[in-house]
Structure 1
Amino acid sequence: MARFQVRLAKQPGVDRAVVLQAVEEVTTHCAETGEHPRTAFGDPDAYAEQAAARLVPKDRAARAKRRNAVVDAVGTVLAKAGDFAGM
């Protein structure tokens, strides 16, 4: 369950409410059926991606992806500048 939560939290646009909703869905299902989470939902990484796609509005996920791309680009530029300065 911890792996699922961490992977889910890393998905674009996922906030605390989404993580809590997804965890509640998994725990409720497993409590009602007696199934193990991996048996019921498969690989935690793959299910985290599926849950995010289902629970996060597409526009919010798209905004988060764009923001993450900008942050990554700035980080790359700063790293290269640091490498250049260190020469």
Structure 2
Amino acid sequence: MADEMTDEALSKMRPMPLAKRARAVTGLTQAAFCERFGIPLTCQRDWEQGRASPPEASASYLTAILHDHAAVAAAFNAAAE
């Protein structure tokens, strides 16, 4: 089949960066995601494009967003008030 991926093609594929996966589950644009969760837009862009890796604390925050973005957004908004 022409649509099947070869082992070589699969090995060249990179996994989606954590920052991009975290944003994807929210369905938000980069700007809206960064505003909602207090992340600098330039950092998010670099993390999504693989130009930089998030520091450990930021990676933990992104993981929390990935698993329960509604709860994290509520906690972030409550802390900002």
Higher helix proportion (structure 1 or 2): 1
**Common fold, TM-score beyond 0.5?**
no
Q: Greater RCO between the two (CA within 8 Å, min separation 6)?
A: 1
TM-score (norm: length of structure 2): 0.30
- Indicate the structure (1 or 2) with the bigger Cα radius of gyration: 1
TM score, norm. by length of structure 1 = 0.29
